[in-house]
Amino acid sequence: MKTSLSEFIANLPKAELHLHIEGSLEPEMMFALAKRNSVKIPFTTIDEVRAAYNFRDLKSFLDLYFAGTAVLQTETDFYELTKAYVEKAITDNIRHSELFFDPQTHTDRGVPISAVFAGIARALREARSSDGFSSKMIMCFLRHLSEEDAFETLQAALPLRADHTDLWCGVGLDSSEFGNPPKKFSKVFDMARELGFRIVAHAGEEGPPEYIWEALEILKVERVDHGIKCETDERLVKYLAEHRIPLTVCPLSNLKLCVVKKIEEHNLVRLLRSGLCITINSDDPPYFGGYINDNFIAVASAFNLTGEDLVDLARNSFRSSFADDEQKMKWLQEIDEYADNRAID
């Protein structure tokens, strides 16, 4: 069967491995929650919010992002936020998503960490039973805060672990990269590993290749979030390729945060051709102008990707996930069937 590029992408089964649930807050929901919770936000109209989405760099985005998250106050808010993302994910044919969440963004404002966990988990469990939507939760530490703060967050979250073993599988690291290298968090990640958590970290989004080495060698990450700044270090590129360490790349995010000037200048296809395990993800979709399929379309159009390339990217997303092997095999089979029956017109 012949289909258009956008239909091929839209119907392709895929996993999303780099999505900040707080970053999926659409302006409409920001306004609704601000009203419900009587929280002041620095905007009076939805157009004003969208106009503010002209970022210079990661820092200018994070300033707006943290202002937006202030509207999230209750378990219901986190539930509604997650439910909205999951509904969109299902429409985009995402079968499995591993959601990042940042408790420190909320506990600093007096929101109980249990409300954050419970709201997100409720929406994910509902989607699992109603639509077979598979998911995991990855708790991230904010790297602009101290390691001590990260330890406190981990300690505060641990009593919630027993109730969330079906979802909470990993620990990650996000927020502003420059000046906050992975090694700053070596001890808290040692502890997280000893506790049996899967480990990921943002590294090499804006920061240098050394940060990626630190994520690999000190934090012992299984995946690198972004990682695109690896290219200036030949030995690192070789290492990532040889060990098939997945990079969770977010093309529209990189464009919007001026990491690349245009999508045609992005290095992800070059890295893919060099044998790296590249996946495509949306990061903070409303802020960066697109959900996962928009990211796929932008890259496929800019680089004239073939159906085979797109299928490879989707395969990588399932293989790199923290789902169990049996489940991964089912998805990979489904992709094979999909690829056998369709071609891009």
Tell me how far, at minimum, the Cβ of 69 lies from Zn ion, in Å.
14
Structure tokens given for 70 = 């202030």
Nearer to Zn ion, 27 or 204 (CB): 204
In this structure, are residues 179 and 207 in contact, taking their beta carbons and an 8 Å threshold?
A: no
CA distances to 121, 179, 256 from 207, rounded to whole Å, are 32, 9, 16
Rounded CA separation 43/121 (Å): 30
Minimum separation from the CB atom of position 151 to Zn ion (A): 22
Residue sitting closest to Zn ion (CB)? 283
Q: In whole angstroms, how close is the CB of 18 to Zn ion at the nearest point? A: 6
Stretch 283-312: interaction string toward Zn ion, x if CB under 5 A: x-----------------------------
CB closer to Zn ion, 100 vs 331: 100
Min dist. Cβ of residue 281 to Zn ion (A): 8
The catalytic residue positions are 205
Closer residue to Zn ion, CB minimum distance, 73 or 281: 281
| Per rule CB under 5 A, count of chain residues that contact Zn ion | 1
Q: Between residue 268 and residue 287, which ones bind Zn ion under the rule CB under 5 A?
A: 283
Task: Measure the CA–CA gap between 194 and 196, rounded to whole angstroms.
Answer: 5
Closest CB to Zn ion among residues 118, 169: 169
102 binds Zn ion (CB under 5 A): no
**Position 216, amino acid:** L
> Quick one: 176 or 293, whose CB is closer to Zn ion?
176
* Cα first-last separation, the chain: 9
Question: CA–CA separation, 103 vs 74, rounded Å?
Answer: 13
In angstroms, what is the minimal distance from the CB of 204 to Zn ion? 12
Which one, of 192, 199, 226, lies nearest residue 212 by Cα?
226
The tokens of 276 are what? 């790296």
Residues 48-87: x/- map of binding to Zn ion (CB under 5 A)? ----------------------------------------
Query: Minimum Å distance from CB 23 to Zn ion?
Result: 7
Q: Is the dihedral of CA 148, 39, 67, 263 positive or negative?
A: positive
- Alpha-carbon torsion (278, 283, 287, 292), positive or negative: positive
Q: Which spans in the chain are helix H?
A: 5-11, 27-36, 46-51, 58-69, 75-91, 103-107, 113-131, 147-157, 186-194, 209-217, 234-242, 251-256, 268-273, 285-288, 292-303, 307-319, 325-341
Query: Would you say 13 or 172 has its CB closer to Zn ion?
Result: 172
Site map 229..268 versus Zn ion, x via CB under 5 A: ----------------------------------------
Return residues touching Zn ion (CB under 5 A): 283
